[in-house]
Amino acid sequence: MKVRPLYSSSSGNACKVETENTLILIEAGVSYKKLVEANGGPLLPNAIFITHSHGDHINGAGVISRKSGAPLYMLREAFKKKEKLFNACEVNYIKHGDKITI
């Protein structure tokens, strides 16, 4: 498994977790364009996990999900606070302690 922070600041956070067959994005607080630049090429995650609803963790999630087709995983409370960001996205509600297979 490889873990690579792509952004980590108050203006945006994103971390890539990658195995041979799976790429997960944890947080999506910056634009898709910035993530592609930080990644050095296209970024097509299999899933996007959001830990909470602060803008620097969530603001890019809807666009990145729509562009990549990746489903979003987040707490229901995070979704409700930023619901309009996620039009036409597959959103899966999770709760603390859930086990999720990607």
Beta bridge partners of 100: none
H/E run at residue 25: strand 23-26
47 neighbors 71 (Cβ within 8 angstroms): yes
Task: Report pLDDT for 40.
Answer: 94
H/E run at residue 34: helix 32-39
Q: Report residue 44's pLDDT band, with 50, 70 and 90 as the boundaries.
A: very high
66 neighbors 88 (Cβ within 8 angstroms): yes
For the stretch 58-89, pLDDT in tens is: 999 999 999 999 999 999 998 988 889 999 99
CB count within 10 Å of CB 34 equals 16
For the stretch 3-37, pLDDT in tens is: 999 999 998 999 999 999 999 999 999 999 999 99
Assessment of whether the complete model's pTM goes beyond 0.85: yes
Q: 39-45, long-range: CB within 8 Å, 24+ apart, which pairs?
A: 39/6, 43/16, 43/68, 44/68, 44/69, 44/70, 45/16, 45/70
Task: Report pLDDT for 81.
Answer: 86
